[in-house]
Homo-oligomer: A and B are copies of this chain.
Amino acid sequence: MNETRHIRADWIAVDWGTSHVRAWAMGPNGARAEARSDHGMGGLARDAFEPVLLSLVTPWLGSRETPVIVCGMAGARQGWAEAPYRTAPCAAAPDAAISVSGTDPRIDVHILPGVKQVRPADVMRGEETQIAGFVTQESDWDGTLILPGSHCKWVQLSAREIVSFRTTLTGELFAALSDHTVLRHSMGPGWVNSAFDEGVAEGLKNPESLSAKLFGLRAEGLIGSLTPDAARAQLSGMLIGWELAATRPYWLGTDLCLIGDAALSALYARALAAQGASARTLDATDLTLVGLTSAYQALQKVL
């Protein structure tokens, strides 16, 4: 007789982004199983969050109520239940989660708040949990955390506080230019490091001329010698260089740590290295789980 070995969760960790949701069955030694779907917050009505969650985690539920700790966009105003922002400067570790009432009795859902900054106006939801995870691991570290992605967060961390932060649109901007402007005809699938480096130098040194240089990528492809692979790398470099121009106070003369996808983090590390700044890289998922575990443990103390 075949026996299905059931995985039970002591508690469930959830990272609910705009385009995806990931859940983990957690035990005393970390994640026992993972489930994910593309039912991100962006496409869900308020009453659709619970069914989506249950479709992912039901196999892990037992007879007792299972705590569920959620970070990310599920706490936005248009999400499952609003978890109002904390205001920076603030402790890196969240001090409170909001409890979602009226759910299926098998789950006890808590959503972590994001962080806002009033001036200059800025917001994050999800990244604060990676930052909390980082601080749990390295409580004495001061410097700047860089969290690249569709949006890139630059976070000044000191004495376990988020002192200030800025967000850039670089990832989305690269995608929008590559897919939805005339540059789409000039982009190849490959990559040329030297073209990336040139782009970084250009974006950082001459941000005022970038607006004209962008069309230049198209023109160089039509009448010059720029290959499609080099054009793609150069565009990426220009936008990251432009971002470095905007975030100079965050990376100049400061300890740096990148948290994110390995390939994208490597590009930022390369661009920073060319300015004489070195950054190590940590995995975002690992830190999200550390941050959610930290929040779960804090919650257990309260209950």
Q: Which residues does A use to contact B, with CB under 8 Å?
A: 85, 116-118, 120-123, 150-151, 166-170, 172-173, 175-177, 179-183, 207-216, 218-220, 222-224, 239, 242-243, 245-248
| 24 sample A-B contacts, Cβ–Cβ < 8 Å, listed by A number | A116-B223, A118-B223, A118-B224, A121-B222, A122-B216, A122-B219, A123-B222, A150-B182, A166-B215, A167-B212, A172-B181, A173-B177, A173-B181, A173-B214, A176-B177, A207-B207, A208-B208, A208-B246, A209-B245, A209-B246, A210-B242, A211-B239, A212-B246, A213-B246
| B151 adjacent to A182 (CB under 8 Å) | yes
A122-B219, A182-B151, A223-B116 known; A211 vs B168 contact (CB < 8 Å): yes
Which chain B residue shows the least CB distance to A77?
Answer: B222
Q: Which residues of B contact A117 (CB under 8 A)?
A: 219
Which chain B residue shows the least CB distance to A220?
Answer: B121
Q: Which residues of B contact A121 (CB under 8 A)?
A: 216, 219-220, 222-224
Interface of chain A, main secondary structure: helix
Of the candidates B118, B150, B180, B207, the one whose C-beta lies within 8 Å of that of A172 is B180
CA distance A215 to B167 in the complex (A): 6
Q: How far is the CB of A19 from chain B (nearest CB, A)?
A: 11
Give 8 closest A-B pairs by Cβ, nearest first: A176-B176, A208-B245, A121-B219, A207-B208, A211-B246, A172-B181, A167-B215, A212-B246
Q: Which residues of B contact A246 (CB under 8 A)?
A: 208-213
Q: How far is the CB of A79 from chain B (nearest CB, A)?
A: 13
| A219 adjacent to B123 (CB under 8 Å) | yes
CA distance A215 to B168 in the complex (A): 6
Q: Which residues of B contact A242 (CB under 8 A)?
A: 208, 210-211
| B168 adjacent to A245 (CB under 8 Å) | no
Q: How far is the CB of A65 from chain B (nearest CB, A)?
A: 33
CA distance A176 to B239 in the complex (A): 15
Q: Which residues of B contact A172 (CB under 8 A)?
A: 180-182
Starting from the known contacts A169-B177, A208-B248, A213-B246, 4 additional A-B residue pairs (CB-CB under 8 Å) come to: A121-B222, A151-B182, A209-B245, A210-B246
CA distance A131 to B139 in the complex (A): 64
CA distance A216 to B116 in the complex (A): 12
Q: Which residues of B contact A211 (CB under 8 A)?
A: 168-170, 173, 207, 239, 242-243, 245-247
Q: Which residues of B contact A245 (CB under 8 A)?
A: 208-209, 211
